[in-house]
């Protein structure tokens, strides 16, 4: 535990580099497909969606397996496995010869991915319990900052060096992050007995969800991603309705960026608050805030109204996943923490996959305003789920732990 602060700040920096590197390709993926020989705009749109989602598909499928390996061999080993693996595969993506080879490489990248989930697992299990919320909030801030900066850097470097060079730069950045983790991150890990790890995915799922709050928390994470990711990729459609055509790209980027910026600003603060008042309380109030701020976005008449509301919503979003991850750590079975996070990450990836698809269908069938209202409804249902399935045991354990700390602080 004594190394937890050093581990935290090293992993924050590494997550920043990894996330920014991974998101560099987002602005120019359709243009890269054009360079690979696709000319039909419809084909480019279809391939872009398939290739972008392919990474999430295999990550969703393999997350529980890597969680089991982390419990067996340590979370640091999974960070290194993912870091070196992604560095090689993304560098090879620069040699893609067509959309099929690009798709296969994206599928392979999803298989070996898991740098950020493994970092969350290491930090949550090697940080004193009274600081877990704060640590996870800081960790998210690093990832979000990289997600904001990555697309900007990718667009600028694509103009300067060309599309293929970005993949080589991205691979090199992730390689550096992996080497830093190899040399400087220290993990307090004790390998379990062999009898504890001879299980399969179904057995693991049954065991980790034998504690009812854990299964409910998986549902909470899934709905959070559905409600957030279902909107983000479609915001440009809404921006077109609110702005002059010549400024659409700028305002679309700004509308997405402000939510990420305020998320980054608030996540560490809300993580610290969760350590004091309980992650369950932060999760409930943050979800209520996100839901309530989604409703007026359905009725805005000016782009700046939307931007202000998105900024305010991002402050609340900063408390969602750190609080959910802190609760998952609280309820996970000892020795199965990474497997529990593995299933949680699968739920997150599933939300990332189907959110934009469902959101696109809703917008096609109705409007963006309807999508905002449905997103708010999903989050309000999530609040009820937390209150009904997560809050009572979480609250009980939180106050029991708080009382134990007070007794330890009383001088003998």
CATH of the domain at 19: 1.20.1250.20
Please state, in angstroms and rounded to a whole number, the distance separating the CA atoms of residues 173 and 195: 39
Average of per-residue pLDDT across 73-89: 93
What integer best gives the mean pLDDT of the chain? 83
412 band by pLDDT with thresholds 50, 70 and 90: very low
| Region of residue 103 (phi > 0: left; psi between -120 and 50: alpha; otherwise: beta) | alpha
Q: Is the pLDDT at 197 greater than 60, yes or no?
A: no
Q: Using one digit for the tens of pLDDT, what is the confidence trace for 35-49?
A: 888 877 677 777 877
How distant, in Å, are the alpha carbons of 8, 187, 188, 219, 341 from that of 2? 11, 10, 9, 34, 23
Pair (35, 115) in one structural domain = yes
Q: Is residue 192 part of a domain?
A: no
Range of the domain at 205: 201-403
Average pLDDT, integer, range 324-337 = 84
Whether residues 168 and 47 share a domain: the answer is yes
CB-facing half-sphere around the CA of 49: CA atoms within 13 A: 13
Same domain, 167 and 281: no
- What number is the average pLDDT over the span 71-92? 92
Question: How confident is the model at residue 17, as a pLDDT?
Answer: 87
Do residues 216 and 362 both lie within one domain? yes
Query: Mean pLDDT over residues 79-107, rounded?
Result: 92
Please state, for a pLDDT cut of 90, what percent of the chain lies above it.
Answer: 21
Res 11: pLDDT = 93
Nearest alpha-carbon partner for 133 in 228, 334, 331, 267 = 267
Distance (Å, whole) CA 191 – CA 72: 6
Pair 146, 205 in one domain: no
Quickly state the pLDDT bin for 411 (edges 50, 70, 90): low
Report how far residue 195's alpha carbon sits from residue 234's, in angstroms, rounded to the nearest whole number. 48
Q: Please give the Cα distance from 109 to 90 (Å, whole number).
A: 7
Looking at the fold, whether 107 and 250 belong to one and the same domain comes out as no
Q: What integer pLDDT is reported at residue 245 of this predicted model?
A: 63
pLDDT bin (cut points 50, 70, 90) of residue 114 is confident
Q: Domain check: are 40 and 164 in the same one?
A: yes
Count the neighbouring beta carbons within 10 Å of the beta carbon of residue 1.
12
Q: Please state the rounded mean pLDDT for residues 400-412.
A: 59
User: What pLDDT was estimated at residue 179?
Assistant: 95
**Based on the number of CB atoms within 10 Å of its own CB, is 308 exposed (0-12), middle (13-18) or buried (19 or more)?**
middle
Q: Give the chain's length.
A: 412
> In this predicted structure, which of 196-205, 267-276, 382-391, 397-406 has the lowest mean pLDDT?
397-406
DSSP 352-377: HHHHHHHHHHHHHHS-HHHHHHHHHH
pLDDT at position 278 is 84
Q: State whether 165 and 85 are in the same domain.
A: yes
Q: What is the pLDDT of residue 181?
A: 93
For residue 188, tell me if it sits in a domain: no
The whole-angstrom separation of Cα 281 and Cα 328 is: 14
| DSSP 8-class letter at 389 | I
List % helix, strand, coil for the chain (3-state, nearest 5): 85, 0, 15
Residues 85 and 115: their CA atoms lie apart, in Å, by: 10
What's the pLDDT score for residue 194? 58
CB 101 within 8 A of CB 94: no
Taking residues 84-107, what's their average pLDDT? 91
Instruction: Say yes or no: 391 and 291 in one domain.
Output: yes
Q: Identify whether residues 98 and 173 lie together within a single domain.
A: yes
- Paired tokens of 99: 């959309």
Residue 205 sits in the same domain as residue 150: no
| Highest mean pLDDT pick, 134-143, 154-163, 389-398 | 134-143
Query: Is residue 24 one of the residues assigned to a domain?
Result: yes
Alpha carbon 367 to chain centroid, angstroms: 27
* Average pLDDT of the residues in 374-392: 84
Nearest-angstrom CA–CA distance, 343 and 132: 20
Alpha-carbon distance 113 to 207, whole Å?
25
What band does 264 get if pLDDT is binned at 50, 70 and 90? confident
70 in any annotated domain: yes
pLDDT level of residue 10 (50, 70, 90 thresholds)? very high
Between these two residues, 156 and 1, which has the higher pLDDT value?
156
* Helices (runs of H) and strands (runs of E) counted in the chain: 18, 0
pLDDT surpassing 90 at residue 154: no
* Statement to judge: residues 227 and 140 lie in one domain: no
Token pair listed for 129: 């319990």
134 vs 5: CA distance, rounded Å: 11
State the total domains in the chain: 2
**pLDDT tens digits for 198-235?**
667 788 888 888 877 888 888 888 988 888 877 876 77
With a cut of 60, say whether residue 196 has pLDDT above it: no
């Amino acid at each position: 535990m004594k190394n937890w602060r050093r581990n935290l700040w090293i992993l924050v920096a590494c997550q920043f580099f990894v996330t920014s590197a991974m998101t560099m390709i987002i602005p120019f993926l359709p243009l890269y497909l054009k360079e690979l020989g696709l000319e039909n705009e419809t084909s480019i749109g279809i391939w872009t969606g398939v290739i972008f989602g392919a990474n999430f598909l295999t990550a969703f499928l393999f997350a529980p397996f890597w969680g089991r390996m982390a419990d067996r061999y340590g979370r640091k080993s999974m960070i290194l496995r993912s870091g070196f693996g992604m560095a090689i595969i993304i560098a090879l993506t620069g040699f893609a010869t067509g959309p099929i080879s690009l798709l296969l490489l994206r599928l392979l990248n999803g298989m070996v991915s898991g740098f950020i989930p493994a970092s969350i697992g290491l930090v949550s299990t090697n940080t004193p319990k009274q600081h877990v919320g704060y640590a996870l909030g800081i960790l998210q801030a690093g990832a979000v900052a990289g997600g904001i900066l990555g697309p900007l850097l990718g667009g600028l470097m694509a103009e300067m060096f060309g599309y293929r060079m970005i993949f080589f730069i991205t691979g090199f950045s992730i390689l550096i992050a992996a080497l830093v983790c190899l040399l400087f991150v220290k993990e307090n890990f004790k390998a379990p007995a062999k009898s504890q790890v001879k299980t399969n995915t179904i057995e693991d799922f049954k065991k980790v969800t034998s504690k009812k709050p854990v299964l409910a928390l998986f549902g909470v994470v899934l709905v959070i991603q559905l409600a957030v990711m279902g909107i983000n990729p479609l915001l440009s459609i809404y921006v077109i309705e609110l702005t002059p055509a010549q400024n659409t790209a700028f305002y679309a980027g700004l509308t997405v960026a402000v939510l990420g910026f305020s998320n980054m600003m608030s996540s560490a603060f809300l993580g610290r608050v969760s350590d004091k008042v309980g992650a369950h309380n932060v999760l409930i109030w943050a979800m209520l805030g996100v839901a309530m701020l989604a409703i007026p976005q359905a009725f805005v008449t000016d782009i700046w109204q939307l931007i202000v509301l998105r900024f305010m919503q991002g402050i609340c979003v900063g408390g969602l996943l750190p609080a959910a991850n802190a609760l998952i750590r609280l309820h996970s079975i000892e020795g199965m923490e990474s497997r529990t996070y593995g299933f949680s990450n699968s739920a997150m990836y599933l939300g990332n996959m189907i959110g934009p698809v469902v959101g696109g269908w809703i917008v096609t069938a109705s409007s963006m305003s309807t999508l905002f209202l449905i997103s708010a409804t999903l989050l309000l249902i999530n609040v009820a789920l937390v209150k009904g399935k997560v809050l009572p045991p979480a609250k009980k354990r939180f106050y029991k732990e708080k009382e134990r700390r007070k007794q330890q602080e009383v001088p003998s």
